[in-house]
Amino acid sequence: MGSFKNVFSEIHYEMVRKIAEGGMGLVYEAAQLGAGNFRKVVAVKIIREEYSAISEFQKNFIGEARLVADLIHTNIVQTYHLGQVGGQYFMVMEFVRGVNLEQFLEQHHAQGKPIPVDLAAFIISRIARGLTYAHQKCDREGRHLNIVHRDIGPKNIMIAYEGDVKLTDFGIAKALDLMYNEEGKVIAGKDEYLSPEQASYAVTDARADLFPLGIVLTELLLGRNIFRAPDRAQSRRNILTMPIPQFSSLRPDIEPRLEAIIQKALQRDRDKRYQSAFEMMTDLEMYLYSDRYGPTNEKLGVYLKELFGVKDPGTTPPYHRSTP
């Protein structure tokens, strides 16, 4: 990492540590430096060196940065800058001091405790809120971007220690004129979090993000993804054909109103599914707040810090986002 750190120091970024890596990319915690001892903690995402010269990966990386540059919303991880140094493209993003949902689930498993139903529904309602914004987004000329995230899953959902819930990683998103896209020829997304449209190589629209959002909700409630199988092809077959259970029979404190929301989100026929993220968000909020004082960011933040034993999130080594 030494030469890499030296190159980035020339453009006023101090690389602190690697916080995530995947098959094609790396994410670092970094400090953005400025005049008067200015210092801001950010995340820097780069393409692996062996892929950085391949035009397809470059175009997608640039497309992702251009797409998310104007996605400014409290429930979406913000992107500040796209740069190039030493022939290497990099993206500077908001640093979320907290955990992703995979880590959140793992911590509950380790402690042998279920995730509270109201907090599970609240987390998903916040992601539905972020998706509502993204799905409705237009470009500067007023053209609807037709954004589909296509990679909804626990690794791409962050919870800050303050309780903010944020969607991240639009790396395989579909959007007007911005991203390399071979939909219909290849499957984009993780097998156990696909919509039926993705699993069957069909062309998607925004409703394809709502089926996996329902999957994540049930995983938070049950502690497992009911569609996951050891074999990737079997996971896809489960998405397409496995009978959808009554979730209240698997966890008795799932109320009928929440059961109805889950069942609608997991409709394989997208014309019978929720038709928008706004519609799903509204039903979740009605469930959470219509007859009680429901959860808030602050309540989730307190719960998260207690779960992970965090006293001062400003000095505790943070978790961060998904693998790129």
With a pLDDT cut of 70, the percent of the chain lying above it is 89
pLDDT attached to residue 183: 64
| Single-letter amino acid, residue 64 | E
Q: Do both 41 and 108 map to the same domain?
A: no
What's the chain's average pLDDT? 90
Q: Do both 32 and 154 map to the same domain?
A: no
Pair 231, 239: CB distance under 8 Å: no
- 151, 191, 209, 283: the catalytic one is 151
Q: Strand 25-34 to strand 13-21: parallel, antiparallel, or no bridges (unpaired)?
A: antiparallel
- Over residues 287-308, the pLDDT tens digits come to 999 999 999 999 999 999 999 9
Q: Do both 80 and 106 map to the same domain?
A: no
- Cα dist from 188 to 101, 137, 167, 173, whole Å: 20, 21, 17, 9
pLDDT band, very low/low/confident/very high, at 323 (cuts 50, 70, 90): very low
Strand-pairing partners, residue 183, are: 186
Structural domain for 255, as ranges: 98-308
Question: Is residue 276 assigned to a domain?
Answer: yes
pLDDT attached to residue 146: 93
| CATH number, domain containing residue 78 | 3.30.200.20
Pair 324, 26: CB distance under 8 Å: yes
pLDDT band, very low/low/confident/very high, at 185 (cuts 50, 70, 90): low
Q: Do both 72 and 181 map to the same domain?
A: no
Q: Per-residue pLDDT for 320 more than 50?
A: no
Q: Looking at 60, 94, 128, which one is the last position of a domain?
A: 94
Q: Do both 171 and 123 map to the same domain?
A: yes
Q: Per-residue pLDDT for 315 more than 70?
A: no
Active site residue 209: no
- Over residues 18-42, the pLDDT tens digits come to 988 776 788 999 999 999 999 999 9
pLDDT band, very low/low/confident/very high, at 82 (cuts 50, 70, 90): very high
pLDDT band, very low/low/confident/very high, at 97 (cuts 50, 70, 90): very high
Q: Per-residue pLDDT for 8 more than 70?
A: no
Q: Do both 54 and 163 map to the same domain?
A: no
Exposed / middle / buried, residue 186 (Cβ in 10 Å: 0-12, 13-18, 19+): exposed
Total domains, the chain? 2
Q: Do both 80 and 169 map to the same domain?
A: no
Q: Do both 109 and 80 map to the same domain?
A: no
**How many CB atoms sit inside 10 A of residue 65's CB?**
22
Q: Per-residue pLDDT for 4 more than 60?
A: no
Strand-pairing partners, residue 43, are: 29, 93
- Cα dist from 98 to 160, 168, 169, 182, whole Å: 4, 13, 16, 34
Q: Do both 85 and 116 map to the same domain?
A: no
Q: Choose between 321 and 138: higher pLDDT.
A: 138
Q: Do both 149 and 247 map to the same domain?
A: yes
Q: Choose between 311 and 198: higher pLDDT.
A: 198
Q: Choose between 117 and 89: higher pLDDT.
A: 117
The two structure tokens encoding residue 95: 């640093």
Pair 166, 145: CB distance under 8 Å: no
Q: Which residues contact 112 (CB under 8 A, 6 or more apart)?
A: none
Question: Is residue 317 assigned to a domain?
Answer: no
Question: Is residue 72 assigned to a domain?
Answer: yes
DSSP string, 234-250: HHHHHHHHSPPP-GGGT
Q: Looking at 61, 77, 94, which one is the last position of a domain?
A: 94
Question: Is residue 74 assigned to a domain?
Answer: yes
pLDDT attached to residue 179: 58
pLDDT attached to residue 129: 98
Q: Do both 233 and 126 map to the same domain?
A: yes
pLDDT attached to residue 265: 98
Q: Do both 120 and 154 map to the same domain?
A: yes
Nearest to 222 by CA among 98, 108, 103: 108
- Over residues 217-274, the pLDDT tens digits come to 999 999 999 999 999 999 999 999 999 999 999 999 999 999 999 999 999 999 999 9
